[in-house]
Amino acid sequence: MIPATVLPSQVYSLIAFLFQFLDSFGFIVLATVGLAIIFGMMGVINLAHGEFILIGVYGTALPFHAGVPLPLAMVMGVVVTVVFGVIVERTIVHRFYDRLLDSMVATWGLALIISQLLLIIFGSSLDSISTPMGNVGYGPFTSSIYRGIFLPGIALLVLAGLYVLFTRTEFGIKARATIEDPETARAMGIDTDRMYVSTFAIGSGLAGLTGALYAPALGSITPGRGSTFLIEAFVAVVVGGPSVIVGTLSASGLLSVFNATGSFFFGTFVGQMMMLVVAIVALRALPDGITGYVKQWRQRRRAEQ
Amino acid sequence: MSHPNVSRRSVLAAAGTGLSLSIAGCAGDGGGDGPTVGILEDRSGNFQLNGTSKWQATRLAIEEINEDGGLLGEEIEIVDPDPQSDNSRYQDLTERLILQDEVDALWAGYSSATREAIRPIINDHEQLYFYTTQYEGGVCDNTIFAVGSTARQQLGIVTPYLADEYGDDIYIIAADYNFGQLSGDWVNVLAQENDYNIVGEEYIPLEETDFSSVINRIQDEDPDFIMSMLVGANHENFYDQRATAGMEDIPIGTSTTMAQGHEHIRYDPPALTNVYAGVSYMEELGDEREGGTFVDDFYDRFEDANYLNQEAQNNYFSVYLWAEAVEEAGTFDQEAVIEVLEEGQDISAPSGELTLDGATHHMEHEMRVARADENHEISFDGQRRIEPTFLREEVEDGAGCDLTTEDRTTQYEPNDVYDV
């Protein structure tokens, strides 16, 4: 702990604010990224996104309570969610590509089935897992290292990893070609079916990763917790716009700045209000989201030149 | 990929608003000729964690009575569809149970929002209704018996206890809806009566899971103790984050935690260390009746049950309260049964010897302070009988709510009497 006399109290408040921002930022990025991949790359609105995350939570918590060390349990949580995602893609979701409204109804039904099955099989709650890594203290305040440093760090790594995967690798180029124009892609010898499965598996894996990471930061683990992630995820996807990675990053940044500012100065209620008001204003002013606006702006500039 | 006329993003935006829609459904069976009891307790959805043991304990009591030969020589039939924590479903089912199944008594609902959602239907049909959750208090209603302890009873035992022990500076955090707001008002009333200082007060949306700003604000104010009326699965996260922040040395008083959601069992220590709950009952208390085996009976009947919570005990003893009134009235006729209940009834409950106050339809409860230590072991202290004084002698300028002499379907709030 830094002794309280070294720095004026405003500095401590500023640090507290920074941690609150990072906490919120990490949460929104991780809640959003799986949904954004599946929606942005495949045109499927996965209303079961929250339940996919929940499978990651259960897939982590169950082995952890059985004695598996937490990091290994988290890996198991991700694997379980990927396997589940692939099964769901092959049996259900592949019938719904390009059928936007149908995909919503189907995945919503899936969400209800998953959460009810979790209730029936595992009962009304699992024991919670304490947040690891302790806290960092400064002046009168403390902040969680896991929520305030580790999770936002992972969130940035995930985004960077996705950027490399989809722009710098052969897989990424094939996947994007499949999304843009499946027929031509097939004509060029790309196995589009495999691309769809892989992309959906990545989206599911990211949902699983979010679940695994939040298993020890979620508090209670009950079959209804999937909805915890859904509001932030939907708002961020809509505000972010068509570009998956830059959209997720910019929307999460914008929303968490306002969320943290409202929470810091006025309380959690105002924080949530400000985040939603910003989302409404952003949609009114930038109907194609942040990245849609940037794209248009670039095109206009190019046309002017 | 082709782009249809509907833009993906507009659909996505619409999807967000549609998420809260729920499916209406129908389940259940017809009414019979014999006595019928309705149980509407949540076994799925948001409140299943608390609702399931309420449902179990109600069934247990009725099955015990049936095994003992029934009531007035008749076997009691149970109608108990799952309302799934959904208030509109509650309204449909309440109407169905009253009109179609013609239930003789109804046990229903976990949250205050649910109770208020079905209260107009209860009033329309003058249905005998037992609401058993601990709640903000103040319901003065002809056919409703609110047998759970009220905020004045729960906060009234735990707040002074903590102030005596730790000091007068209180920080209030509560859920941002009718129950949380009114509970916060009650802490303010207690502060006025006893000269405590409220150093901070925050009402937190039920969806919130991130308490880092709340924790920093509490650290900034450095109160002697916190009064927490947080509610639901999202809010439980506060206790884990409090432990991560190393704030176990700031004690917490509560009316909502531990006795319902058994957080002291579901969370690893030290999350709930130094949490003090004002309760009428918890499983750890056992059975205060001579030779009583309530907890064992409960787990014998429901082997997979998670916890026997405070609310479930209220369901249990209120079934017996009703049964004794039926025996005395000699009929299942609701008006006659209510008349007997309004004479005031003593009842032996697992939580102690209790008395129903006929005039207010509320209970004189044996209240105690339950504390979780650093290993989450529960100990009880400061037991005291607390009467429903708010309704009996504070409302209506001291005249009180007297349902034996007048018709009422109101709910009084602390600011009807106090300046909060």
- Is A94:A221 a contact under the CB 8 Å cutoff? no
> Does B55 share its domain with B93?
yes
Residue A250 in any domain: the answer is no
Residue that finishes a domain, picked among B279, B311, B336: B279
> Region B125-149: what's the mean pLDDT?
94
Q: What's the pLDDT score for residue B9? A: 53
Residue A159 in any domain: the answer is yes
Residue B20 in any domain: the answer is no
Residue A303 in any domain: the answer is no
Is the CB of A15 inside 8 Å of chain B's CB atoms? no
Is the CB of A213 inside 8 Å of chain B's CB atoms? no
**A71-97 burial by CB neighbour count: b if 16+ within 10 A, else e?**
eebbbbbbebbbbbbbebbeeebeebb
> Region A73-102: what's the mean pLDDT?
90
pLDDT in tens, B312-327: 999 999 999 999 999 9
The reply to whether residue B15 touches residue A104, judged by beta carbons under 8 angstroms, is: yes
Containing structural domain, residue B338: 36-150+285-367+385-417
Is the CB of B348 inside 8 Å of chain A's CB atoms? no
Residue A36 in any domain: the answer is yes
Return the CATH number at B248: 3.40.50.2300
Distance between CA atoms of residues B367 and B149, nearest Å:
8
> Region B350-371: what's the mean pLDDT?
94
Average pLDDT, chain B: 89
The backbone torsions φ and ψ at residue A245, rounded to the nearest 5 degrees and listed phi first, read -80, -55
> Does B289 share its domain with B413?
yes
> Does B128 share its domain with B104?
yes
Q: What's the pLDDT score for residue B326? A: 95
How much is the pTM?
0.83
Of B45, B202, B306, the CB nearest to A125: B306
Of A116, A128, A268, the CB nearest to B204: A268
Chain B residues with CB-CB distance to A134 below 8 A: 244, 246
Of A43, A140, A238, the CB nearest to B1: A43
Is the CB of B22 inside 8 Å of chain A's CB atoms? no
Residue B303 in any domain: the answer is yes
Question: Which residue of chain B has the CA closest to A126?
Answer: B266
Selection from B266, B208, B219 nearest residue B242 by Cα: B219
> Does B166 share its domain with B234?
yes
Residue B331 in any domain: the answer is yes
Of B49, B207, B263, the CB nearest to A222: B49
The reply to whether residue B246 touches residue A147, judged by beta carbons under 8 angstroms, is: no
Distance between CA atoms of residues B245 and B133, nearest Å:
32
Q: Which of A15-29, A117-131, B291-305, B350-364 has the lowest mean pLDDT?
A: A117-131
> Does B268 share its domain with B291?
no
Is the CB of B374 inside 8 Å of chain A's CB atoms? no
Residue B2 in any domain: the answer is no
Of B233, B247, B267, the CB nearest to A225: B233
> Does B138 share its domain with B253?
no
Residue A293 in any domain: the answer is no
Q: Which of A36-50, B39-53, B248-262 has the lowest mean pLDDT?
A: A36-50
pLDDT in tens, A73-82: 999 999 999 9
> Region B127-131: what's the mean pLDDT?
96
- pLDDT band, residue B97 (cuts 50/70/90): very high
Strands B144-146 and B129-131: parallel
Distance between CA atoms of residues B185 and B198, nearest Å:
11
Selection from B1, B233, B411 nearest residue A182 by Cα: B1
Residue B56 in any domain: the answer is yes
Chain B residues with CB-CB distance to A271 below 8 A: 213
pLDDT in tens, B200-212: 999 999 888 889 8
Q: Between residues B9 and A187, which one has the greater pLDDT?
A: A187
Residue B90 in any domain: the answer is yes
Which of 255-284 (B) contact A at CB < 8 A? 261, 263, 265-268, 271
**A262-294 burial by CB neighbour count: b if 16+ within 10 A, else e?**
bbbeebbbbbbbbbeebbeebbeebeebbbbeb
CA distance A74 to chain B (A): 18
Residue B13 has pLDDT above 90, yes or no: no
> Does B182 share its domain with B260?
yes
Containing structural domain, residue A213: 9-226
Distance between CA atoms of residues B141 and B155, nearest Å:
23
Residue that finishes a domain, picked among B258, B279, B300: B279
Among A32-41, A168-177, A287-296, B257-266, top mean pLDDT goes to B257-266
Q: What's the pLDDT score for residue B47? A: 86
Of B15, B48, B176, the CB nearest to A269: B176
The reply to whether residue B6 touches residue A130, judged by beta carbons under 8 angstroms, is: no
Residue A143 has pLDDT above 80, yes or no: yes
Q: What's the pLDDT score for residue A11? A: 85
Distance between CA atoms of residues B270 and A133, nearest Å:
14
Q: Which of A100-104, B2-6, B329-333, B358-362 has the lowest mean pLDDT?
A: B2-6
CA distance A242 to chain B (A): 9
> Region A228-249: what's the mean pLDDT?
87
Q: What is the share, in percent, of chain B residues with pLDDT greater than 90?
A: 72
> Does B307 share its domain with B322?
yes
Question: Which residue of chain B has the CA closest to A222?
Answer: B233
Is the CB of B52 inside 8 Å of chain A's CB atoms? yes
> Region A253-263: what's the mean pLDDT?
91
> Does B392 share its domain with B301?
yes
Residue B242 in any domain: the answer is yes
> Does B46 share its domain with B101?
yes
* Terminal C-alpha separation, chain B: 61
Q: What's the pLDDT score for residue A134? A: 87
Chain A residues with CB-CB distance to B9 below 8 A: 238, 241-242, 288-289
Residue B29 has pLDDT above 50, yes or no: no
Domain count for chain A, please give it: 1
Residue A38 in any domain: the answer is yes
> Region B253-281: what's the mean pLDDT?
92
Residue B181 in any domain: the answer is yes
> Does B58 share its domain with B176?
no
The reply to whether residue A135 touches residue B241, judged by beta carbons under 8 angstroms, is: no
The reply to whether residue A267 touches residue B213, judged by beta carbons under 8 angstroms, is: yes
pLDDT in tens, B220-239: 899 999 999 998 888 988 99
Residue A178 in any domain: the answer is yes
- pLDDT band, residue B18 (cuts 50/70/90): very low
Residue A172 has pLDDT above 80, yes or no: yes
Average pLDDT, chain A: 88
Q: What's the pLDDT score for residue A7? A: 67
Q: What's the pLDDT score for residue B314? A: 96
CA distance A303 to chain B (A): 24
Domain count for chain B, please give it: 2
Which of 114-173 (B) contact A at CB < 8 A? none
Q: What's the pLDDT score for residue A242? A: 78
> Does B161 share its domain with B256?
yes
Here the tokens at position A257 are 């700045």
Q: What's the pLDDT score for residue B30? A: 40
Residue A292 has pLDDT above 70, yes or no: yes
